[in-house]
């Protein structure tokens, strides 16, 4: 407690002398901040952290793609449509959300569900090489597919989404990041 009383007394003397000498308010504030740091009461890192404003975060849409796939894919599955979508993640990004919607139909009549055949292979590759893979085939299932992927604190660097679809129809991919502006 004696040390705090000493600092308060020093600050009071400093204020009186600064007012007497005509030193501006900014210089006075700098001195009031510097005295505790020089005396060892406050660590410089904590003071810098306290004085820096927090970063402003916002949702940014990094991918918004809608594409179709068709005739050759129905005939030969080896010629399935393959597409890569890179995503660049900044440092301090909080969230990465990826949404995919695939609608399989048929080339004769899109409303006739029985002939709607196709399959999807989706791979999300992270910067460290780890990946998440999902596959979907319409045989005995619905002709549309929706999936969501949520990543909290994603690794900074280049991510890659690879889509391979065979059949006939269209797909949509939306990816958003919550990152510093």
pLDDT in tens, 34-52: 766 666 655 666 767 777 7
Q: Are residues 159 and 113 in the same domain?
A: yes
Confidence band, pLDDT 50/70/90 cuts, at residue 127: very high
Is residue 176 located within the same domain as residue 118?
A: yes
Higher pLDDT among residues 76 and 53, named by residue: 53
Q: Are residues 42 and 106 in the same domain?
A: no
Q: How far is CA 3 from CA 29, 36, 41, 44, 59, in A?
A: 20, 11, 10, 19, 48
The whole-number average pLDDT for the span 117-121 is: 87
Instruction: Pick the closest to residue 174 from 139, 141, 150, 152 (CA basis).
Output: 150
Q: Are residues 84 and 131 in the same domain?
A: yes
Indicate if 136 and 63 belong to the same structural domain: yes
In this structure, are 66 and 144 located in the same domain? yes
Do 148 and 111 belong together in one domain?
Answer: yes
Percent of the chain past pLDDT 70, that is, above it, reads: 66
Regarding predicted confidence, which is higher, 106 or 36? Answer: 106
Q: Residue 114's pLDDT is what? A: 65
Confidence of residue 139 (pLDDT cuts 50, 70, 90): confident
Q: Same domain for 77 and 166?
A: yes
Q: Give the domain range for residue 45.
A: 2-51
Q: Could you tell me if 32 and 100 lie in one domain?
A: no
Quick one: pLDDT at residue 161? 97
pLDDT tens sequence across 2-14: 556 665 666 666 6
Residue 67 shares a structural domain with residue 155 = yes
Distance CA 178, CA 101 (A): 21
The structural domain count of the chain equals 2
pLDDT of res. 40: 62
Confidence category of residue 86, pLDDT binned at 50, 70, 90 = very high
Same-domain pairing of 154 and 89: yes
The answer, as to whether pTM is greater than 0.75, is no
Q: What secondary structure does DSSP assign to 54-109, as a single string?
A: PPPEEEEEEEEEEEEE-HHHHH-GGG-EEEEEEEEEPTT--EEEEEEEEEE--SS-
CATH code, domain with 81? 2.60.120
Confidence of residue 99 (pLDDT cuts 50, 70, 90): very high
Please report the pLDDT score of residue 123 as a whole number.
97
């Amino acid at each position: 407690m004696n040390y705090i009383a000493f600092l308060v007394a020093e600050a009071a003397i400093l204020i009186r002398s600064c007012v007497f000498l005509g030193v501006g308010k900014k210089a006075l504030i700098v001195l009031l901040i510097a005295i505790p740091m020089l005396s060892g009461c406050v660590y410089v890192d904590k003071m810098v952290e306290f004085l820096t404003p927090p970063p402003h975060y916002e949702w940014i849409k990094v991918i918004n793609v809608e594409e179709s796939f068709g005739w050759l894919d129905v005939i030969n599955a080896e010629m399935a449509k393959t597409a890569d979508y890179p995503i660049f993640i900044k440092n301090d990004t909080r969230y990465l959300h990826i949404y995919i919607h695939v609608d399989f139909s048929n080339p004769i009549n899109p409303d006739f569900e029985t002939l709607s055949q196709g399959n999807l292979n989706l791979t999300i590759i992270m910067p460290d090489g780890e990946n998440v893979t999902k596959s979907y085939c319409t045989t005995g299932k619905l002709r549309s597919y929706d999936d969501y992927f949520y990543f909290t604190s994603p690794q900074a660097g280049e991510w890659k989404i690879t889509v391979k679809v065979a059949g006939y129809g269209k797909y949509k991919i939306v990816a958003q990041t919550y990152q510093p502006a």
